[in-house]
Structure formats: structure tokens, C-alpha cells
A = this chain, B = another copy of it.
Amino acid sequence: MTARLSPGAQPPPATLPAGGDGLRSSLHDRGQRLTPQRQRVLALFERIGEGSHLGAEEVHQRLLRSEERVSLATVYRTLRLLSSMGLLQELELPEGGRRFELASDAHRDHHHLVCVRCGRTEEFENSAVLQAGERAAGGYGFRLLECVLNVRALCPSCAAAE
């Protein structure tokens, strides 16, 4: 029922290759270390692309399949770490456990229009939304990382079927 279709077009990452030094220095800034496990987890998310999300168990399984064993406990620890570093982000859709995806570029705002009946999803952008997010964050003294607008709606054919 997860209707986030990412048709073939996978936008080029355009960001730093994570297995590399971006991760290393981000970690070092926090007094933490670059380990193969952390690289593997992040690299996996980069491999699957920006639109797709994985849960802890899936990350563990997929790494096993590619001969890059990382214990499940470490997967959990790493997901939380990368997430708190802003490299991954946790999803809003609670289908089972928590799920994560590669964090999009800083401050980018991408929004979803989703039909609650059939799951059809359209993406759109709107700078007014980002502004609203910035205003809200500013008002509470928060530092904005990202804002996502979810519009729940009925698509034309589902609306007709009602």
C-alpha cells in the first residue's frame, strides 16, 4: 500500500559520496568514528536512492545479502546516529516499524499529494510552504532542517466513485 512510486528516474545524488570523507568529518566533529559498518549502512541508502525507505530489519537483511554483515543491534544504533546527524531521515508513514530514507538536500521542500483511497501520489513544490515552515521554526527558535507537506485527498476517479 506504499504508493511512493519512483519511476525509473533517479535524480543524481549530486551530494557527497557518503562512503567518503563527508561522513568521516561529520563523525569526527562529534568525536565519533568512521567504521565500515557506518559506511555500509549509509552506502546502502545511497544505492537505493532518495525516494526509497527501509526499516532496520531490511537494512540488516540487505547488507547480509551483499556480504556486508552488520549486526542488527548496530544497524539500529547506526540508523539513529545517521538520523541525528541529518544524513538519514525518519519517515512519517507508520507501517510497521520505523523507516528511514536518505535525507534530501538541505532545506529542500518536497510535498506529497496523496489519494487516501487508491494511494495515487503526486509530488509538488511550493515555496510558500517553505516560507511557512521557516516562519514557524523561527518563531519557536528552532533551526529548520526540512519541511514536508502532506496533502491527503481524493483523486478524481476515487472522488467520483464515492
Task: Please give the residue numbers on chain A whose beta carbons come within 8 Å of chain B beta carbons, in ascending order.
Answer: 1-2, 4, 6, 9-12, 83-84, 86, 89-96, 98, 111, 113, 115-118, 122, 124, 126, 128-129, 131-133, 135-137, 139-156, 159, 162
- Inter-subunit contact B159/A151 (CB<8 Å): no
- Inter-subunit contact B162/A154 (CB<8 Å): no
Q: How far is the CA of A121 from the CA of B132 in the complex (A)?
A: 16
Residues of B within 8 A of A129 (CB): 128-129, 132, 149
Q: How many copies does the complex hold?
A: 2
Q: Considering only CB atoms, which chain B residue lies closest to A97 in the complex?
A: B94
Q: How far is the CA of A51 from the CA of B90 in the complex (A)?
A: 21
Best-surrounded residue of A135, A144, A149, A151 (most CB of chain B within 10 A): A151
Q: Considering only CB atoms, which chain B residue lies closest to A12 in the complex?
A: B162
